[in-house]
Structure 1
Amino acid sequence: MTIYSFDLDPVSLSIDLSVGHIAELKIRESQRTLTPLHRASWVDDPNAVFPDGTPPNVKRLSGDFFCAPFGRNDVEEGPSHGWPANSAWDHLETNRQDDRLTASFRLQRLVMGATVEKRITLIAGHPFIYQEHSFFGGAGAISAAHHVMVHMAEGGDLAFSPKQAAQTPPEALETDPERGRSVLAYPAHTENLAAFPLADGGMADLTRYPVGESHEDFLTLLEAPARSLGWSAVSRTAEQDRILVLKRPDLLPVTMLWMSNGGRDYAPWSGSHTGVLGIEDARASPLGHAASCADNDLTCSGIPTAFLLGEGMRITLRQIIGACDQQPGEGPLKDLYEEDSALSLKFQDGRIRALKYDPAFLAG
């Protein structure tokens, strides 16, 4: 394992180069240091025991990682979520120019014949990391996703850019009651995020987390059309902060939510992986690489699920992750929008708060 760390106030960041995961993210605000991303407890446990065949992305489960393909890897030989989430990266260089610092990395393996590079930029005074992943060359088609994970000690509120629907795949993550449990209905579909069907006939409010006790669940949010900014916001109750994840909906038209709240009884999860929410901005089918490259329920609705690779081509995906504290009286978050040099947070009572931000990054 090799950890590469870099820092530009107010952000410090560490990358686990053995798998490309963000090992740690800290954001300093006033007298506080916010730690928005999750790291599985077994990563730092030298006595952790893993079943045979446990992929590296589970053994080193941390922060955020890049999936290519997303989920089942059934076109090109490789582990679930692909080599970018499971194999080593090289640090290429770190450049400091004026008020910006950019660290660059390259995956040691190819993906569908393509070279994959990661660039993460910090900007002085900004409570965000600006990250991009690029494919150079290759052949065929590839699905892709970010895999941001947050932990909530006592749950929290969720807010999203407008979505046209939420849906679960044909089967639950855990179908064997001897191994785990899921509580959502599979398959199910709703346009109302506050009323998603449960397996027992009830309804779950997807704007609150968790939606139940001792469960492992997965669903896909479909971005509303004609939006220039897609976003997810987690307002954590115990931690009293807000975690913000931003994307371009035309490139990453779905956001998948992985709800890991003690619903897996087998190692290394062992019922103790609780309060974790994955926010997975993607161009992918949840059913895997082959399904993403073929006609599926999403493509039939006009939602792309893969990128076409080609000699001499470069495909770049960008995403922003940040955090701020919750200030007294702000109440629930209603909307986010970009301005000249700020990201504005609008609350239900009409109050607006601005964070230092670079809107040109996602537009680039």
Structure 2
Amino acid sequence: MNSYSPEQRVIAETCRTPALTVQSWTVLPQECLDLDWSRITFLALQHRVEGLLYDALDLAGIAEQIPATTVSTLARRARLAEARYRSFVQALTEVARRAPDLVAEMVFFKGARLAPLYASPRHRGLADFDFIISAGRDDELRRVLNDLGFREKPGRNGPTYFAQSPTADLGGGYIVFDVHLTAPPKYNRPSESMAQVWLSVAQPHSLDGVPCRRLPVDLEVLELLVHASEHALSWIHVCLDDDIRLIRHIDIELLCAQGEVDAAAIERHARQQGLIGELALGLAFQLILRGTLPAGLEPLRPYAEAVTDLVDVIALPDGRTGQMPAALADRAFRTDRSAEALRMMPPGTRDRRYWFEWHQGLVDDRRENVAEIARRAADSVRTLALAP
């Protein structure tokens, strides 16, 4: 474990189940009364592990020894995560009732695929349901969702649809369907990654009883690692507290624990789709944040070790790249990462709204060059390959 404070260690040691979390703790329960629980609460929210922490505290029998505000905050967030998941499934069920063959072709990944694998949906909060459809069915999907009251936000590789959520009064925001046409990428990735393979190799799946499809585990793990690296390298995501979230790395451990991961297949897919740099970076973030790689990914360790010098490079919103002031191992569980990022910009521009507007993304054609960092990583691992 890195040289974290006791409060940081409580969060950093969170695992994919409450029982494993309790087993991993090195400061609880013995230091329970000595900790700054306001800081732990904030970090739990930042890293989206509220439900896991809440159930772990209850399992360890120490929930009545910590501040009631912490307990109630974690409980509310856990209940909200489950309520949001249920409302998303309910909305998907209604789409399936109107267009069952369309939903049966959807390929779900990330949170929609992962939440049911946790012991409870309250352990995995969701911002949206991500799915892939063929570009030829986009108009049909638009008609169905428009009829259901969704509004559309265009995107570079597919729209995002929003509808009022029954959990809005609880702070649950919208029901969000993030649509990816043909392949997962929304930005920054090479053209090779838009191959039809994401649709052609999808497997039958049932999402809470709704027939649909999912990615094979190897492609899902690749997508999770690439996605984690894209967020961690983005200045805007740092400013939104969305660059490094422990739950993403717990997701990877959870999926690998299913026992179906083939490291050679992940490497092959990454090279075929021009994502080998992103894969290496994702592995490096996983290794540094968790101290190890899941057993199924251990053969890929050389890729992670080859790019550790790039994990502190950040893509700035003016097209440049810069160096984060604090190293990853130090900043991952700090609460001031967004302030650090804003201080990197010139005086007068240290405001998220100057660079970014939620409804349209980066303003005035500004662009973060995450792809440049991935290209450097690809150069660093060009000669690596797993033994045949």
* TM-score range for the pair, normalised by the shorter chain length: under 0.3
Please give the TM-score of this superposition, normalised by the length of structure 1: 0.25
The structure with the larger Rg is 2
User: Which has the larger helix fraction?
Assistant: 2
